[in-house]
Structure 1
């Protein structure tokens, strides 16, 4: 009988050790992941908010200048309407040519505004992205995360509010680090 209990004890010990080894292997091969909602991150991070404020100021300047040009075009067209019907063919051509020139100038200005704001956003956001990436690497190491996905406009189909959603915690970490 003692021999029987000895065999059972040995089997129990082997199974226990096997179970512990199995748990350790499973735990070590498990990938820990999270995701960050980049839209929420960029609207919540003080560094990105500062950049957006600067961009709004710059856009307001451009918009004011564009409105001035548009008003000038509108005033020109109003004056042109008054004399166009009774004007000579050469005057009509000159007026139309100037109108086209003003319209094209407004179009070039609008395009320059768009390109200027895009370049400015890119330049101003570069250090913000570096801060985010640096902080996210540190945050991930501290949390033991192996992979962090970024989501924007619904590229993560499900998960918001789950344990995998680290957005709020990371925004808090980021703002404390760079504020």
Structure 2
């Protein structure tokens, strides 16, 4: 969950910084040339934008990790990798181990700082590909190796 919280905080921090910059630009522009009507009304209240973006960022940074943790699930059985994702509409994906072509382990810089990794399970079909994020790095490496060996063994049995 810390990984998702840090990602959300960085994204909303960037959005908030851009909103502050936009508000400063509009305020400076409005100071040189007064706008009338709706633009004048917006120019007078331009500093509400960064405050609203920052408030939304705080709320989303608090809610996003908890929600994602409650929704995202994965399970590996002897012959299927099961993942569930989604915020409002849920997606359940069952990937047969015999159809797995590659299993990749990835680490972004935030994941490296936290000792986490993501495994990406690829099949010939884009729709059949899946990923499991937020695993401890040693678990991800071990799971990727086991899935690759199991997929190899099952493919050999199938042909």
TM-score range (shorter-chain normalised) is 0.3 to 0.5
Q: Which has the higher strand share?
A: 2
**Structure 2-normalised TM-score?**
0.35
Q: Bigger relative contact order, structure 1 or 2, given CA contacts below 8 A and separation 6+?
A: 1
Q: Which has the higher helix share?
A: 1
Rg (Cα) greater in structure: 1
